[in-house]
Amino acid sequence: MDSSAGRRGEQLAALRLRAEEHGVIPEAKALAALLRRRDFSEFYRLADDFRRETKGDAILIRAILEFSNHCRRRCRYCGLNSENRALSRYRLSPAEMVETAAEAARAGYRTIVLQSGEDPWFTPEILADVVREIKKTGAAVTVSAGEKRREDYRILREAGADRYLMKHETADERIYRSLHPCGTLENRVRGLRDLKELGFEVGSGFMIGLPGQTEETIARDLLLLLELGCDMAGIGPFVPHPETALRDLPHGSVAMTSRAVALARILMPFCNLPATTALGVLDGEEKNAVFSRGANVIMRKVTPSRVKRLYQIYPSELRDTDIAAERRALEGEIRAMGRVPV
Ligand code: 5AD
């Protein structure tokens, strides 16, 4: 272990002790009881302290490029599910992906997230070529394109992909099964472990407000993130999409989302935690508040305007894309919060 890793280990041990003094321990019943507390301010403060000590004042800005809304899966909450016939489907060309990513890099983005539905047209080889080209800009590349074979992840890794984002969605077997006619929790988790073994920085995460979810299932979601050794975790509220089976359900609780993010920070002090876009859709205020409750990452869409509105995982109002202007505006907002855009 080099000395910085050693220092981090010591810091982590010290933070774990402090977490424990506040009753934050990696045990489902204990975490569920915390999530049910009437007053959560003690944990919001602790999460903010941990964030400052491990991450400083930086807020990391990521560019997300939604390159295909084709999806072979039928996840019951997602607007891109293949049964949604109301949606016109698009696919960017590899050349346009590379150009857009290069524009984002010129605007100051240091990470490009390539996200899509599970679209078999984009073979690992095609995606690997795109990754190699984007890496030439100096930006880090995150891929978020769903479940693949271990061999396919390896191809992406060897092309230079730095990170992979794939939320486990829910750690509860029964809920997982009821929402995903096309996959299993076991397979999802196996994928996440494969990615970790292949040397990716791995992002997982889950939704708040899924039918059947309780504080205890949320606690188990947090414990799964911890067990997976996630480098990043996106925790966002479920937002009903009108073209899905779950259209009539209420959206997830904004307050519970903040609580889960705060506990994630306390349990995983070095983890990168985004203020999820879904949270911003429901509550612009809370989206900012969550940055003083543990979060340290924000994503901005750089998807071309022409196709942007077709990438609606959940409904949201979208403006035309202006990569450089939106980056500048966001940097201003971050500075206004007393934080440092990176
Ligand atoms: N509401 C909130 N989040 C959703 N996602 C998909 N559909 C919804 C929805 N209706 C999230 C999932 C997925 C990520 C890309 O978006 O967590 O992993």
pLDDT tens-place string over residues 121-164: 999 999 999 999 999 999 999 999 999 999 999 999 999 999 99
DSSP tag of 294: T
SS3 content of the chain, % helix, strand, coil (to 5): 45, 15, 40
149 to each of 171, 186, 267, how far by Cα in Å? 21, 14, 30
Mean pLDDT for the stretch of residues 67-92: 97
| pLDDT (0 to 100) of residue 166 | 98
56 to each of 3, 32, 251, 295, how far by Cα in Å? 20, 29, 32, 11
Which atom in ligand 1 lies closest to the alpha carbon of residue 167?
18
Return the best residue to mutate from 313, 314, 316 for the ligand 1 pocket (most ligand atoms within 8 A of CB): 313
- Separation CA 11–CA 45 (nearest Å): 18
How many A from CA of 280 to the centre of ligand 1? 13
**What are 209-267's pLDDT values in tens digits?**
999 999 999 999 999 999 999 999 999 999 999 999 999 999 999 999 999 999 999 99
Query: Could you tell me the two tokens for 7?
Result: 């220092």
Q: Is 165 touching ligand 1 by the criterion CB < 6 Å? A: no
Which atom in ligand 1 lies closest to the alpha carbon of residue 115?
15
* Reported pTM: 0.95
Cα R_g (the chain), whole angstroms: 19
**What are 205-219's pLDDT values in tens digits?**
999 999 999 999 999
Secondary structure (3-state) at 295: coil
How many A from CA of 78 to the centre of ligand 1? 6
Query: Could you tell me the two tokens for 92?
Result: 């960017």
Residues 6+ apart with CB under 8 A from 38: none
Q: Is 282 touching ligand 1 by the criterion CB < 6 Å? A: no
312: closest CA among 275, 273, 281? 281
The neighbouring-strand residues paired with 202 are 164
Q: Strands, E, within the chain: which ranges?
A: 58-68, 111-116, 140-144, 163-165, 201-208, 232-237, 297-301, 340-341
How many A from CA of 168 to the centre of ligand 1? 11
